Structure 1
């Protein structure tokens, strides 16, 4: 009897061990595959940007009646028309294409740039945001992977010392090279009616200056530290969002405002123009 029980236990242990080994091997293969995919894409972008900088000007590729494609993103856009931009942050692993699928809002939550199923997904813009216009706030999601990929390195911004050396984010759309200055870094719970929840993802278009100011004030209130940077109605924002594991349904959020080539925020020069252009009531 004891011998039979021992045999059963060994068989169970072997089955569990086998399943665990299979999971680890499969996970590692997936990690390697995704690392190779995005490394190759980054190489294409960097090589194209370098070639464009060194070569004679080439015929621009039209994107719309008014704008042309950035040369470094043209090849990737040809591979996948859901591409809306490229995001990168110095001294992090964040160097990725950014996607948007309006008709299938969370498609890239579980699919890579190649549209194949993947637990890693690919950073993507919320479906009701307009990258080209752009909306007052572009909400961009990315997974927090244990191997440090996707948006995991947003965790570094919990440290004020890291932020002090990395105050800007590069987010190039298909047609414009852009930089954003960090306004606030915070965590909050989501998808709950808890009084602690801040539903930042609902802020896409400001109905008026008060709505914009209220959003910024809440971001600043929750921020881990004071960046000394704020934003005003007329500024354009990006909000980077990833999972945060200190609480259930917790998210780590980085909010930044677009800065002009001269280093000033959009609103500093266009507040009146933005109000008039958008025809939005105060």
Structure 2
């Protein structure tokens, strides 16, 4: 028995009929996927906006309540150059006043507060917190509420009362320039051309400190630059040479293995890039 044959026209009509049956399903599948992506994107933008709003409100509240004050009292010079090296910027920077804040008020707001950081020509004017890991404040604000903007925090391996070879402070690189979002200013030539910007002030309950920047650069995500202590002097020397060699354009200064280093780190992009600013301790003042 032979199977019935169909004409070319009948085959074409049957094929078109199948296509018509499939088209609504394809359309609705595409529509569901599109609406899901759109809904998720709107939700992400909405929560991002809420997080930014909360961070800005909290930052303003802190700025109104906790104002850094200048302290012109003398301090201890750290690793000064030779006295006859009068042209060294070190002498200019160490003539500047310290900045300090009322830690009693800060501790009342958040008991994890261990320092206050201040940096010219940026929005970096924040209390610094620390806990027993480096994850908590990636997604918590200063008031410890859930917030993708996070807060400015010190590496859990560091001790603010006994500085490591390298003290590391982190913050998200937010597009609205809150937290460490304005650290990218340091990559601009206009910022780098003003030597007054090359100082970072760090105040704690026990002392005020002044750091002179020696290296600014971008790099892919790695762990070498955030090493906190070194087993040998040679290891630290190699590390310092590497950090200095990465410097992108600023007028640098000499660094030695006896220097205490401060590293500020933030994300440059969504692909793991980092913006890094590194400075050495040049002056400190013990609080009475």
1:222-258: CA deviations, max 9, x gaps? 111252312212221110011123x943211110011
1:128-172: CA deviations, max 9, x gaps? 111111112111111111222211222121234312321111221
Of the candidates 229, 238, 254, which is equivalent to residue 230 of structure 1? Answer: 254
Residue matched to 2:83: none
Q: CA deviation at 1:77?
A: 1.2
Residues 134 and 25 of structure 1: CA distance in aligned 2, closer, same or farther (over 3 Å): same
Q: CA deviation at 1:108?
A: 0.8
Residues 230 and 7 of structure 1: CA distance in aligned 2, closer, same or farther (over 3 Å): same
User: Are 2:233 and 1:200 aligned?
Assistant: no
Residues 92 and 7 of structure 1: CA distance in aligned 2, closer, same or farther (over 3 Å): same
Residue matched to 1:80: 110
Residue matched to 2:150: 121
Q: CA deviation at 1:118?
A: 1.0
Aligned runs of 1:156-167 on 2, under 5 Å?
156-165=185-194, 166-167=197-198
Counterpart contact for 2:208–2:284, Cα < 8 Å: no
Distance 1:208 1:161 in 2: 38
Of the candidates 41, 44, 61, which is equivalent to residue 40 of structure 1? Answer: 61
Distance 1:261 1:127 in 2: 22
Q: Secondary structure at the match of 2:102?
A: helix
Bigger-Rg structure (1/2): 2
Residues 75 and 88 of structure 1: CA distance in aligned 2, closer, same or farther (over 3 Å): same
TM-score using structure 2 length: 0.71
Residue matched to 1:243: 267
Q: CA deviation at 1:14?
A: 5.7
Aligned runs of 1:37-76 on 2, under 5 Å?
37-46=58-67, 49=69, 72-76=102-106
Q: CA deviation at 1:17?
A: 4.3
Counterpart contact for 1:85–1:174, Cα < 8 Å: yes
Residue matched to 2:199: 168
Gaps of 5+ in 2: 1-19, 73-99
Counterpart contact for 2:55–2:178, Cα < 8 Å: no
CA RMSD of aligned residues (A): 2.9
- Of structures 1 and 2, the one scoring higher in RCO (CA 8 A, sep 6+) is 2
1:38-74: CA deviations, max 9, x gaps? 221122211x748x99xxxxxxxxxxxxxxxx66121
Distance 1:14 1:249 in 2: 29
Gaps of 5+ in 1: 54-69, 192-197, 263-282
TM-score using structure 1 length: 0.73
Residues 87 and 71 of structure 1: CA distance in aligned 2, closer, same or farther (over 3 Å): closer
Residues 261 and 20 of structure 1: CA distance in aligned 2, closer, same or farther (over 3 Å): closer
The count of aligned residue pairs is 235
Distance 1:136 1:178 in 2: 15
Counterpart contact for 2:164–2:229, Cα < 8 Å: yes
Q: Secondary structure at the match of 2:117?
A: strand
User: Are 2:135 and 1:106 aligned?
Assistant: yes
Counterpart contact for 2:171–2:179, Cα < 8 Å: yes
Q: CA deviation at 1:78?
A: 2.5
